[in-house]
Copies of this chain bind each other. A is one copy, B any other.
Amino acid sequence: MSGAEQARRARAYLLRVAEPPALALAGLVAEAGPVRAADLVRTGQAPSAVAGETAARRHLDQVDEDLARAAAVGARLVIPEDEEWPDWPFLALQTAASRRMACGVAPLALWVRGRDLGALTERAVAVVGSRAASGYGEHVAAEFGYGLASRGVTVVSGAAYGIDGAAHRGAVAASGPTVAVLACGIDLAYPAGHTALLDRITGQGAVVTEYPPGLRPARYRFLVRNRLIAALGGGTVVVEAGQRSGAKNTAAITRALGRVLMAVPGPVTSACSVGCHELLRAAEAVPVASVDEIIETVGRIGADLVRPETRPSSRTDELGPEAARVYEALDRKQGSSPDAAAVESGVPLSRVRALLPELELIGLVERRESGWWPVALRKGRGDA
């Protein structure tokens, strides 16, 4: 057996016997290597901290079965020794700040269905939010998913109902890249209603998990999983989050990892946006209202800057203040003499006499026998 295959089998075993995040085990693997670490655990000789993390399951030596169950659904085990391992995204999981949040452990390996994980995560953004989303939230998540994926930015999310699903669906609709991170075994479709969606994600992106085949999702696993979503995205967009949404957990992890956190404003009358507005009010998140703004926020400075929208302009916008006052002072029904315009506008008569012909030149007023008349303009959308 090659060294790589030994490492893969060792990591498959360790993913089965330790519940992530297993800090002590991660330390042992880093120190002794995966093969020696697996031997120590299997034979009951691991240091006591590692033994505590593995005692309940270390007898579950079912590597062949796990690899077979994964292969049966078209999945493989990707390990740090592989070319496609996302080294760079996972670096953030090894900082002191992330350790303090107990999210600071890179996965020992990842079960993957789909394309090359390294290529997929080179330029990626996490798009997350509540399961109990509003129609508005799902619409925005789908639009953002579509827009990011069609610009070649991978949409990372958690495959849940609501915002997650809408973001993935948007990316799928754009035939663009997307990655779903599960909180259960790679052979389980969770939620069941997203079975077809997960298959489509596999076709143009990847479905990944650190949990061994067959393992059921559980609430704490969603929280542990969230660190991978935050790490794989170059930044995280929270589309909608209620008061108690798990998306707020992903948001906190995003900040702990030093990634940029973004939140989408929504109606202040909507309970679904309360979490987003809290993040904005605490200045913990940057507001984003469009795909361009997301790319500007996470993108390389200079390369992806948003072009400021050109303002719809009105012909009177370019007038100086006195000319504008004279123009507006003209009587629209009866026209005005220069004297009347001076009185109405408060601009000295000598200036009014100079400005009226200038306004005539640019087509804003016309001279008739009865005086000076403003030329009717199509109104801009501005208001005072």
Contact = CB atoms under 8 A, between A and B. Distances in A.
Interface in A316-344: 316, 321, 324-325, 328-329, 342-344
Stoichiometry, copies per complex: 2
Contact of A346 (B18, B158, B242, B382): B18
A315 interface: no
Interface residues of A, number: 74
Contacts of A314: 244
A132 B383 contact: yes
A281 B289 contact: yes
B280 A381 contact: no
Decide if the interface of chain A is mainly helix, strand, loop or mixed: loop
Contacts of A183: 384
A195 interface: no
A92 interface: no
A317 to B, nearest CB: 9
Interface string A161-193: 010000000000000000000010000000000
Given A56-B347, A265-B277, A280-B287, A243 B311 contact: yes
Given A160-B383, A287-B280, A324-B219, A136 B269 contact: yes
A112 interface: no
19 contacts: A19-B347, A52-B348, A53-B346, A56-B342, A56-B346, A56-B348, A56-B352, A131-B383, A132-B381, A132-B383, A220-B321, A244-B383, A245-B383, A265-B265, A265-B276, A265-B280, A268-B290, A280-B287, A281-B289
